[in-house]
Amino acid sequence: MGPKPKRMCKFSDDIGKEYPFIKKSKLDSEVYCEKCKSVFSIGYGGKRDITRHLGSEKHKNVLLSLASSSQVTNYFRREEFGSSEKKIALSEAVFSFHTVVHNQTFRSMDCTTKIIQHLFEKKFACRRTKTEAIIKKVIAPFAASELTNDLESLDYVSIFSDASNHKD
C-alpha cells in the first residue's frame, strides 16, 4: 500500500475569528483575503498557508499602499455644516457682493482669493466661477425678489432717463 491520502484542510469559524479579513471562497479549501483581494488555497497547509500568504510580497505591498494612501471620501465635504463652514460661506458671499458693488470683474477674483488665502483663511475659495455662481444663483434672485416686493407695494412708479453723456 502507498502513503495514506492527506486530509484536505477547510475554512472554519476558528480561522475566521483569528483572521477576520480572511473569508471563505467558492471552494472549501480556498479562502479570500479582503486586504489584498486574492484567493489562495489552504487545502494542504491550513493556517500555515495563511501565515505564508501574510508574509508574501504581494500582501505586504498591498498593506503598504493602503497605509500610504488616503480614501477618496477624505476629499469630500462633510455632511454637517459647522460654524467654521458657515463663516467661510458667509465671507465668500460677502466678498462676491463686494465684487458687484465695486463693479470688479470676475477674473480679478482669481488673484484676490489667493491673497486672502495667503493672509487670512486657507479654506477661503471664491474664485471666478464660484463668485459668478454666488452672484447669479443667490444674490441676484434675492435682489430681484426684494425689488419685486418693493415695487408691488407702491402705487405709482416714475422712470427717469438721463442722456447727458451725449453732446448733441
What is the domain partition of the chain in residue ranges? 13-65, 82-152
Which is higher by pLDDT, 27 or 75?
A: 27
For 15-38, how does the pLDDT look when each residue is reduced to its tens digit (9 = 90+)?
A: 889 999 999 999 888 999 999 999
Q: Is 1 a residue whose pLDDT tops 60?
A: no
Instruction: Read off the C-alpha cell for 12.
Output: 472554519
For 111-150, how does the pLDDT look when each residue is reduced to its tens digit (9 = 90+)?
A: 888 888 888 888 888 889 999 999 999 999 999 999 999 9
The alpha-helical segments, DSSP class H, found in the chain are: 13-18, 47-54, 57-68, 83-101, 108-119, 128-134, 140-152
Question: Pairing between strand 30-33 and 22-24?
Answer: antiparallel
User: What's residue 3's pLDDT?
Assistant: 64
Instruction: Read off the C-alpha cell for 130.
Output: 464660484
